[in-house]
Amino acid sequence: MTLETLAQRGLVLLGCGKMGSAMLQGWLADGFPPAAVWVLDPNPSDWLRSTGVNINAGMPARPGVALIAVKPQMMGDALPSLQALGSDTMFLSVAAGTSIAAFEKAFGAEAVIVRAMPNTPAAVGKGITAIIGNAQAGAADLDLAETLLSAVGQVVRLEAEAQMDAVTGLSGSGPAYVFHLIEAMAAAGEAEGLAPELAMALAKATVAGAGALAETAEETPAQLRVNVTSPNGTTQAGLEVFMDEANGLPPLVRATVKAAADRSRELARG
């Protein structure tokens, strides 16, 4: 299905919180017609009301895509509103912890389901989303899902749904880890004598700049680290603490990602 066909059939967005709003904003910025979007949300924002999309109105008879962007704990109440849609509607979920099997139970085994895990930098068009489809989702369905989700950043495809828990622990929850790293770096700068505002400005810009460099440079992050590390210099002294395999960052990050991935598995089991 092309975007032109989707615009003719209609796109339903179930839930328009931060993630739903980010995606909708990206679609509209890319020229998708507001009149072709139907949003179901109990508390529509002023911004949503200003977009010209259909809000809590009767849905089209055969929407091309129904995108599910509600919190997992709201899923039980929200899904029935989509169960009357036709079998040729693709259901695209960005909800954490809800398996493809759960959607097949709700919509039928023949339904086309694509599960996605975006992250919060989608709000500024810098997200990364992993997708996986069920047996009914063909190449064209995955292509369409990728096109829709690329409005808020990069898209990668998984080989198996079981990988989604690791994605959740790494990139889904990862922005929060980085935000806390910024907090910790700023606090460390304060401890060394910097004013709080200056320490925070330095920490934010350092993390943002390093991330942009890592994403665009031809060298690997490991090589970029080597490039900035002079023998017996200040960076090496800091890295000897940071990279300690027993008490430094590596074991802490492994434990952090594992804890988040394990919680994702628990949520999927209900």
140 lies in the same domain as 181: no
Q: What is the CATH number of the domain that holds 39?
A: 3.40.50.720
For residue 168, is it within any domain?
A: no
149 lies in the same domain as 195: no
Q: What is the CATH number of the domain that holds 208?
A: 1.10.3730.10
Per-residue pLDDT of the chain (270 residues; tens, 9 = 90+): 788 888 899 999 998 888 899 899 989 988 999 999 999 988 889 999 999 999 998 888 889 999 999 877 677 777 887 877 767 899 999 987 788 998 998 888 899 999 999 998 998 889 999 999 999 999 999 999 999 999 899 999 999 999 999 999 999 999 999 999 999 999 999 999 999 999 999 999 999 999 999 999 999 999 999 999 999 999 999 999 999 999 999 999 999 999 999 998 887 776
Q: Which of 84, 150, 90 is nearest to 122 (CA)?
A: 150
Q: Is 92 exposed, middle or buried (0-12, 13-18, 19+ CB in 10 A)?
A: buried
Q: Which domain holds residue 145?
A: 3-163
Asked if 78 contacts 70 with a C-beta cutoff of 8 angstroms, the reply is yes
155 lies in the same domain as 185: no
118 lies in the same domain as 183: no
53 lies in the same domain as 156: yes
Cα dist. 112→47, 51, 100, 263 in Å? 31, 29, 10, 27
In angstroms, the CA 119 to CA 96 distance is 10
58 lies in the same domain as 91: yes
Domain count, the chain: 2
Tokens found for residue 216: 């665009």
Strand ranges (DSSP E) for 85-214?
90-93, 112-117, 127-133, 153-157
For residue 169, is it within any domain?
A: no
For residue 236, is it within any domain?
A: yes
